[in-house]
Amino acid sequence: MCGIVGYIGNREALPIIVEGLKKLEYRGYDSAGVTFLRDEKIQVIKKKGRIKNLKEQIKSQGYSIHPEAGTADGIHIGMGHTRWATHGEPSDENSHPHLSQDNHICVVHNGIIENYTELRAFLISKGYTFQSQTDTEVVAQLIEYHYLTDCNNDIFSAIQTALLELEGSYALVVLCIEHPDFLIAARKDNPLIIGLGEDEQFVASDIPAVIEHTRNVLIIEDNEIVLVRKDVVNVFTIHGQIVAREPIRIDWDAEAAEKGGFEHFMMKEMFEEPKAVRATVAPRIRNNKIMLEHFPLTKEDILTAERIHIVACGTAYHAGCVGKGVIEKLCRVPVEVDVASEFRYKDPIIDDRSIVIIISQSGETLDTLAAMREAKKRGAKTLSIVNVIGSSIAREADYVLYTAAGPEISVASTKAYVTQLACIYLIAFEMAYIVGRLSEKDYLRYQSELLRVPEHIESTLAKQSEIQRFAASHFNAKSIFFIGRGLDYYLSMEASLKLKEISYIHSEAYPGGELKHGTIALIEKGTLVVCSLTQEVLLEKMISNIAEVKARGAVVLGITNEAHTKAAQACDETFFIPQIDPLLAPLVAVTPCQLFAYYMAVNKGCDVDKPRNLAKSVTVE
């Protein structure tokens, strides 16, 4: 949801900024721009469309964006932005950076300024005119207004004053023409990090933008302002008190955020699933025990909880749905799953006996973060499952269990999803064991099943050509239905979302038994129905549901294992996954669904890693 990169140092800034933006393109990709100081002027170059359009624009204005050729520009301070439109359509004018009226201040921003209409009206009354429809331009103008009036050319206090007037969320970076020796960055409810180098510093929305240059990273927190000089970085509260902050060391390298020979990040990330699940599970199972360090829940907490809530968005929400099925089955405690944007505003029934599990790959999804804060405010214990180390949700939750997926770049989540599931299983097994509802024998059996999941995913991936072939003959489908019962229904929801996200084919997920109550009206000759058939006790019922859709002309693809011959025979085509306890089947059965979505999208010529209208990290409500 908008990516920000800033640089100050001795090297040429433009190549570093543009390359950093490329790494953040997953955050938004409808337009991009850069700003820098040159000839004592703030220069701005921006362009609607992908970063390649911006690159062309930069080159056409005579600047270099290649490090080896870029010695002549003499640009050592600057910043850039890749946008996901909120206020104002994608256009050159609405692209960031935004320059203030008298050219003193330039701003890049991620987030939404909620009171921008009022601030804009105020500034218009002071003689300001606006070039764009964005909320960000208001920030640039407001800072300049204070800079030139009540703050007497003190840029730091002009920014402080302006920030205190803003309502909403922001990560922003400010360049001031009179201060070629520093950038100022600030954050509230949107991610912001500083990459610490030697005699050079980087500002960014996320680590992939800086990892090529440094592994030492300062995580900026809400209501903080950072003064970034090439040789020193100072963090302040919004009220100006100095904040002491230790950098964290990033333990993955630049290669982890590269495609590594795969055509798309999504494919690379699916192939990383076995490794990611292994890294998530193996270190947490030792001596036949699940070891969740500092796991905060006692038997009493679990048994006296009025219920367990799971809150998340998108793919993480679907992981939460599987979590509901698994936790309820094993722990016999009621679990409610909510989409974060609904949870927050429904006046949730939460008190200090509630347990709230928050799931988020990025750890920055604003709806999820806000829902977690609401739960904490009401006294709930919050446990989070997060991929990005040091992210807001990870820091603010009472407890965090990190998924070890590594950086996930493709907008459509794949490896993060399976590692979220892996964490859910670890938590569910542990809780069931703590409350005495899981026998020693089953506790051990589930551990060994979980440890074998990576090899099952490996053998599933090895058969990708079967899915590829199937997709090749179905990619013209107008509408596809995914059906399943129990955990298979939750799996179908994720399979359907994946297909929609990247191939733009209309698709719906339905519980197998529910289709006939209305939606079956949409089934006609040739309609593709994908059936998840992993829940043994529900197979007979699913076989009837398959017969119902086939009687109306549907073509059925079944995902099952070889032991389920009757279910397989009911389908037109079958993809076999390895045999696994049905409780853990979603962990293995999702990979063919992801492959299916991938190949459908590739066949349709879609931009798999950057689907239209989407962004990976949604930091607006």
The catalytic residues are: 2, 616
Instruction: Compute the least distance from the CB of residue 214 to ligand G6P, in Å.
Output: 24
Residue with the two structure tokens 């099943």: 449
Candidates 95, 214, 280, 413; binder of ligand G6P (CB under 6 A) is: 413
Q: Where are the alpha helices (DSSP H) in 305-414?
A: 314-331, 340-343, 366-377, 392-396
- CA neighbours closer than 13 Å in the CB half-sphere of residue 370: 22
Cα(573)–Cα(141) distance, integer angstroms: 61
Instruction: Compute the least distance from the CB of residue 239 to ligand G6P, in Å.
Output: 30
Cα(452)–Cα(4) distance, integer angstroms: 40
Candidates 151, 618, 619, 620; binder of ligand G6P (CB under 6 A) is: 618
Decide: is 424 part of the binding site for ligand G6P (CB under 6 A): no
**Between 161 and 368, CB nearer to ligand G6P:** 368
| Interface map 326-365 toward ligand G6P (x if CB under 6 A) | ----------------------------------xxx--x
Contact criterion met (CB below 8 Å) for 399 and 384: yes
Total residues at interface with ligand G6P (CB under 6 A)? 15
| Interface map 281-320 toward ligand G6P (x if CB under 6 A) | --------------------------------xxxx----
Candidates 23, 47, 264, 616; binder of ligand G6P (CB under 6 A) is: 616
Decide: is 77 part of the binding site for ligand G6P (CB under 6 A): no
Decide: is 614 part of the binding site for ligand G6P (CB under 6 A): yes
Instruction: Compute the least distance from the CB of residue 387 to ligand G6P, in Å.
Output: 7
Contact criterion met (CB below 8 Å) for 603 and 471: yes
Instruction: Compute the least distance from the CB of residue 412 to ligand G6P, in Å.
Output: 6
Contact criterion met (CB below 8 Å) for 526 and 512: no
Cα(111)–Cα(189) distance, integer angstroms: 8
326: Cα separation from own chain's centroid:
24
**Between 45 and 606, CB nearer to ligand G6P:** 606
Could you tell me the two tokens for 419?
Answer: 């590692």
**Between 201 and 362, CB nearer to ligand G6P:** 362
**Between 212 and 494, CB nearer to ligand G6P:** 494
Polymer length in residues for the chain: 621
Cα(207)–Cα(525) distance, integer angstroms: 49
Instruction: Compute the least distance from the CB of residue 269 to ligand G6P, in Å.
Output: 12
Cα(3)–Cα(30) distance, integer angstroms: 11
Contact criterion met (CB below 8 Å) for 160 and 150: no
Question: Strand, coil or helix: what is 199?
Answer: coil
Within positions 359 to 388, which residues make up the interface with ligand G6P, using CB under 6 A?
Answer: 360-362, 365, 368
Within positions 98 to 137, which residues make up the interface with ligand G6P, using CB under 6 A?
Answer: none
Instruction: Compute the least distance from the CB of residue 609 to ligand G6P, in Å.
Output: 12
Dihedral, CA atoms, 497, 501, 504, 505, nearest 10 degrees?
-20
**Between 57 and 315, CB nearer to ligand G6P:** 315
**Between 280 and 617, CB nearer to ligand G6P:** 617
Contact criterion met (CB below 8 Å) for 28 and 5: no
Contact criterion met (CB below 8 Å) for 181 and 156: no
Give the Cβ contact number of residue 268 at 10 Å: 21
Instruction: Compute the least distance from the CB of residue 420 to ligand G6P, in Å.
Output: 8
Within positions 383 to 412, which residues make up the interface with ligand G6P, using CB under 6 A?
Answer: 411
- Cβ density class 120-129: b for 16+ within 10 Å, e for less: bebbeeeebe
Could you tell me the two tokens for 468?
Answer: 């590829």
Candidates 491, 617, 619, 620; binder of ligand G6P (CB under 6 A) is: 617
Nearest position to ligand G6P, beta carbon: 314
Residues that bind ligand G6P (CB under 6 A): 313-316, 360-362, 365, 368, 411, 413, 614, 616-618
